[in-house]
Amino acid sequence: MRAPSAFVLLGLAALAGCGGEGAGSASGSGGAGGSTSEAPPLPWAAEKVPAAREPADNPTTQPKVDLGRLLFYDPILSSDRAVACATCHSEEWGMSDGLPLSIGTLGVGPTGPGRTGPNLTRRNSLTLWNVANRSPLFWDGRAATLEDQVLAPLKEPKELGRDPDEVAKDLGAIPGYVTLFQAAFPKDSPAVTVTNMQRALAAFERSLISDRAPYDHYVAGDSGALSDDAVKGMFLFAEAGCAGCHAPPLFESMRFFDRGVAPVPGVADDGRGEVTHERLDQGAFRVPTLRNVRESGPYFHTGAVASLEDAVKQEAARSPKPLSDDDITAIVTFLDKGLIDPSRSPDRPAQVPSGLPVPLDGFRIPR
């Protein structure tokens, strides 16, 4: 289908000997598809998305995932009984919410641009795609595990604003939930506890895997999975140093940098510095994943940049390698077309055991 362009060959030559950036293990490619054809050119070692990490005390099981999904979409978790995790982490919006800053309790309108309300979060909502392999969590890395993380939005008055023990009491009074908790935690009596609610939500979040993007098919040996432009963009992404931070195969890293993103006016935010109190961490934020990034705008911890193209331009301006407009377009093509795989988006339940209405999603023009 597609002959390797001179550019790609040149790119390969230029990159030979500069391995070690991003992907560590040189596990070889072609393992997935059983393809015998020559591996398509990559600017880094071929590596598949790793299996979801899970803690020893909370192995993932289907009953936990099923329960966690219902909890994730159930507004019983919020003080106004109208906000759920899904309000700010929606499958329609790249497991984020399409807003610069999220709007929690007492908000008006469905998830997406147009939702208004008095309670704004301080930062842009993070995508939950591939969150199983992410730690520490949050833009500033202040939570270690998914289980721990659950309590943060739950207690935060602007997000869900509930006392976890009260939530467990409410859940324990709903027969549908009691049955589901018993199925998920058969050895526990009572099964409905705050800890088990945390575990079920975490298990559900670990099921949000995105590893079937065109890029992944390409890595597995299907050289036609990426267009010439996307391949060009991928090599530029490596040459410009992007992959050093947004490291394949997850296109992120658990490190923190100050990328010169202008703060939200009137909002003090020291990022990682608030957690470590180190001077070097002041104004530094975690390197976000670029998988499914086209769905999860607006961008940066402030959500101030609406389009992926503008976000890439802003980042490209910081690269030591000068990038032309065409180069930037190619990088955008790689991210936009190459890293997209929402195939395992969760199904929004039509109803949840509390009987409360499941929060709505705004209409999104399909792409």
**Chain residues that interact with ligand HEC, rule: CB under 6 A:** 77, 83, 85, 87-89, 102, 104, 121, 123, 125-126, 128, 131, 134, 137-140, 146, 149-150, 153-154, 159-160, 201, 205, 240-242, 244-246, 257, 259, 261, 285, 287-288, 290, 293, 296, 299-301, 311-312, 315-316, 319, 331
Q: How far is the CB of 314 from ligand HEC (least distance, A)?
A: 8
Q: Tokens at residue 303, please?
A: 């959500």
Alpha helices in 173-307 (DSSP H): 175-184, 194-206, 214-219, 228-239, 242-245, 273-276
Q: Min. distance of Cβ 177 from ligand HEC in angstroms?
A: 15
Of 66 and 222, the one with the shorter C-beta distance to ligand HEC is 66
Contact 126, 140 (CB under 8 A): no
Q: For ligand HEC, which is the closer residue by CB, 219 or 332?
A: 332
And the tokens for 32? 């997935």
Give long-range contacts, CB 8 A cutoff, 24+ apart: 52-55.
Answer: 52/132, 52/133, 52/206, 52/207, 52/209, 53/132, 53/133, 53/135, 53/206, 54/132, 54/203, 54/206, 55/145, 55/147
Q: What is the Cα–Cα distance from 226 to 89, expressed in whole angstroms?
A: 28
In the residue annotation, 159 being an active-site residue is answered as: yes
Nearer to ligand HEC (CB atom), residue 108 or residue 186: 108
Q: Least CB distance from residue 309 to ligand HEC, whole Å?
A: 9
For the CB of residue 31, give the shortest distance to ligand HEC in the complex, in Å. Answer: 28
Choice among 21, 92, 147, 159 that is catalytic: 159
Closest CA to 360 of 108, 70, 129, 160: 108
The smaller minimum CB distance to ligand HEC, of residues 199 and 301, is found at 301
Q: Which is nearer to ligand HEC, 87 or 223 (CB)?
A: 87
Which of the 8 DSSP states describes residue 148? Answer: H
Q: In sequence order, what DSSP letters do the residues of 327-347 get, joined into one string? A: HHHHHHHIIIIIS---TTPPP
CB of 1 to ligand HEC, least distance (A): 27
Query: What is the set of active-site residues?
Result: 159
